[in-house]
């Protein structure tokens, strides 16, 4: 099957939607592309919402929190309930001025004790919240007193989603994961054109360009290797996990030689949507077009580095991010996984059962566009990137009588083509080389925190599982899981942290590894997880896997 890149509208609008935008730390963002009655004033309320620092960290104040020593200096964090939190820790030099579009450099040492009780600004993105190009910071969350203990706990490094154009690590409160006995690190990395612009004038000596945001993530992982022991974590047990573009980043680290040895396990949540990536030649062509549009027709590095970030953000929308550059990513992800030429560690891989309801809501219902029986074929073609004739055949697999309306049929087709079947194919590739644990999040009653009701049910939409792993929501949009869903959430967190601890998410009886002979896939749906009956049939993968 051809692993298609999402159409520009889908990538830019939908994937950035739930993770980008205006939320305060502690919850995912509703995003600039999700206009509704919940926007406007609600966004301001989100910016006043509880942060990952919360009341305990704020109350700790100078001189009262836990202290750790890193290779750049001494940090003082804060205790909040059962956890210690060290926020806004610099892991690389500020990528500003002449360091814009260069690999991350070493962080400068500081004298005295640095207070680590406040989140840093997010990297530049389209948002009303504070941003700064000086944004390469991370946050470390540990069980209370872990830095003073003798045990070295498993470490989980979360890479946020947001289409590689929005979001921040501080949007996710990992307290519940930490309470399972892990150290959790969340990170910022350069986004959008500032993080992934490939341009001939910016090329390194080896000819590579772009993927600076991925290099930032690698720098954060190297920081973890050097320093996490001071926080009570084990550098030998580091699991990287991420959702959406964060999941794609996880897959990129599996394929990147520069990430070898920096982690021991990986979790991909809904990130298998773009395994072919963009070629460096195409990325450089896009970079040249962006340069001219942003105000640098002479195409010089000097001009590009002098542009305000806002000029780049305004013109970056059509640009594809993450490319095979010959160095950081020598080859496309699908080729790496098929050939076995990747960093071989155990992998948990999955998606949600109704990924694209979110995308259809934000691209159609919420902006006044209608999907009808007459335009369904054209919209399937637009959302999945297949030719019209293929889309016509696809539409026959989603008879309108089976769905509330044509928009729901479009969402099902886009889910299958873009997420479900690529994830299944990835299970097959990975399981030839490493222990692979496949899942589908399928709680179709999962709360939809940030989008208004639309003409069809959201079901288990894109990113809906995040509220089962992290503390998210605030007074404006509270997370309201039922008692049954809370039990499911506890099971999921138990599996994620067991995987970080042992390399297995559960016993073989509960969740056996995926193999060609036994293609077991765990379904996360209340009341308790069970086996997915026939994933390929449910998602029409026989058809989509044959599409080139």
Question: What does the pLDDT read at residue 474?
Answer: 60
For 453, phi then psi, to 5°, come to -60, 145
> Are 333 and 252 spatial neighbours (Cβ–Cβ below 8 Å)?
yes
Segment 429-464, tens digit of pLDDT: 999 999 999 999 999 999 998 899 999 999 999 999
Catalytic residue among 51, 54, 120, 244: 244
Report the range of poorest mean pLDDT among 15-29, 355-369, 489-503. 15-29
* pLDDT single digits (tens) 313-331: 999 976 778 999 999 999 9
- Give the mean model confidence (pLDDT) for residues 268-272: 98
Per the residue annotation, which of 160, 462, 495, 539 is the catalytic one? 462
495 is catalytic: no
Torsion of CA 94, 97, 101, 104, to 10 degrees: -30
- Predicted pLDDT at 23: 37
- Residue 208: its pLDDT value, please? 79
Is 355 annotated as catalytic? yes
For residues 195 and 202, is the Cβ–Cβ distance under 8 A? no
* Predicted model pTM: 0.91
Higher pLDDT, 104 or 317: 104
Window from 42-56, 128-142, 258-272, 334-348 with minimum mean pLDDT:
42-56
For 342-352, what is the mean pLDDT? Answer: 99
How confident is the model over 156-200, as pLDDT tens digits? Answer: 999 999 999 999 999 999 999 999 999 999 999 999 999 999 999
Residue 14, pLDDT above cutoff 50: no
Q: pLDDT tens, 465-509?
A: 999 999 886 656 666 899 999 999 999 999 999 999 999 999 999
User: Cα-flanking dihedrals φ and ψ of residue 76, to 5°?
Assistant: -120, 120
Residue 120 scores a pLDDT above 50: yes
For the range 33-41, what are the long-range contacts, defined as Cβ-Cβ under 8 Å and sequence gap of 24 or more? 33/362, 34/362, 34/366, 34/450, 34/451, 35/366, 35/367, 36/366, 36/451, 36/452, 37/452, 38/450, 38/451, 38/452, 38/476, 38/477
Is the per-residue pLDDT at 47 higher than 70? no
Please give the pLDDT value at position 502. Answer: 98
Residue 244 annotated in active site? yes
- Give the Cβ contact number of residue 453 at 10 Å: 11
What CATH architecture applies to the domain 8-353+420-544?
A: 3-Layer(aba) Sandwich (3.40)
Q: What is the pLDDT of residue 220?
A: 99
Q: What is the CA angle 236-118-116, rounded to 5?
A: 50
Catalytic residue among 115, 133, 243, 355: 355
């Amino acid at each position: 099957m051809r692993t298609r890149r999402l159409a520009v509208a889908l990538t830019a609008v939908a994937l950035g939607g739930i993770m980008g935008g205006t939320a305060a730390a502690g919850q995912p963002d509703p995003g600039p592309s999700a206009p509704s009655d919940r926007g406007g004033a609600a966004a301001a309320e989100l910016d006043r919402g509880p942060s990952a620092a919360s009341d305990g960290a704020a109350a700790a104040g100078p001189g009262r929190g836990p202290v750790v020593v890193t290779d750049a200096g001494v940090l003082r964090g804060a205790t909040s309930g059962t956890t210690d939190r060290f926020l806004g820790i610099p892991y690389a030099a500020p990528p500003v001025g002449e360091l814009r579009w260069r690999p991350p450099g070493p962080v400068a040492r500081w004298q005295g004790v640095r207070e680590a009780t406040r989140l840093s600004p997010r990297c530049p993105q389209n948002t009303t919240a504070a941003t700064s190009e000086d944004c390469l910071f991370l946050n470390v969350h540990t069980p209370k007193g872990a830095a003073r203990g003798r045990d070295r706990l498993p470490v989980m490094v979360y890479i946020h989603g947001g289409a590689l154009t929005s979001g921040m690590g501080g949007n996710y409160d990992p307290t519940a994961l930490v309470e399972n006995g892990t150290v959790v690190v969340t990170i910022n990395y350069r986004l959008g054109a500032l993080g992934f612009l490939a341009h001939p004038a910016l090329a390194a000596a080896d000819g590579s360009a772009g993927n600076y945001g991925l290099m930032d993530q690698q720098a954060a992982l190297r920081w973890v290797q050097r320093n996490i022991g001071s926080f009570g974590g084990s550098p030998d047990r580091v699991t990287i996990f991420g959702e959406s573009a964060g999941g794609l980043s996880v897959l990129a680290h599996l394929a990147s030689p520069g990430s070898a040895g920096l982690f021991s396990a990986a979790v991909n949540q809904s990130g298998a949507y773009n395994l072919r990536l963009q070629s460096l030649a195409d990325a450089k062509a896009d970079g040249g077009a962006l340069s001219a549009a942003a105000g640098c027709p002479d195409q010089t590095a000097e001009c590009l580095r002098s542009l305000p970030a806002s000029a780049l953000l305004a013109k970056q929308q059509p640009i594809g991010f993450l490319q095979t550059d010959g160095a950081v990513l020598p080859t496309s992800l699908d080729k790496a996984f098929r050939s076995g030429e990747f960093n071989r560690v155990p992998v948990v891989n999955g998606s949600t059962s109704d990924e694209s309801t979110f995308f259809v809501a934000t691209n159609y219902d919420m902006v006044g566009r209608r999907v009808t029986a007459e335009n369904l074929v054209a919209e399937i073609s637009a959302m999945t990137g297949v030719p019209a004739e293929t889309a016509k055949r696809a539409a026959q697999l989603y008879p309108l009588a089976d769905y509330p309306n044509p928009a729901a049929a479009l969402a099902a087709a886009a889910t299958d083509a873009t997420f479900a079947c690529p994830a299944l194919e990835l299970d097959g590739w990975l399981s030839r080389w490493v222990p692979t644990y496949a899942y589908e999040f399928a709680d179709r009653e999962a709360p939809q925190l940030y989008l208004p009701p639309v003409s069809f049910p959201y079901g288990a939409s894109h990113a809906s599982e995040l509220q089962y792993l992290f503390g998210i929501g605030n007074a404006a949009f509270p997370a309201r899981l039922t008692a049954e869903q809370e039990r499911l959430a506890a099971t999921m967190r138990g599996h994620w942290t067991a995987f970080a601890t042992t390399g297995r998410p559960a016993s073989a009886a509960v969740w056996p590894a995926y193999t060609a002979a036994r293609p077991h896939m765990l379904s996360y749906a209340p009341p308790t997880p069970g086996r997915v009956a026939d994933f390929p049939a449910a998602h029409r993968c026989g058809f989509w896997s044959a599409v080139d």
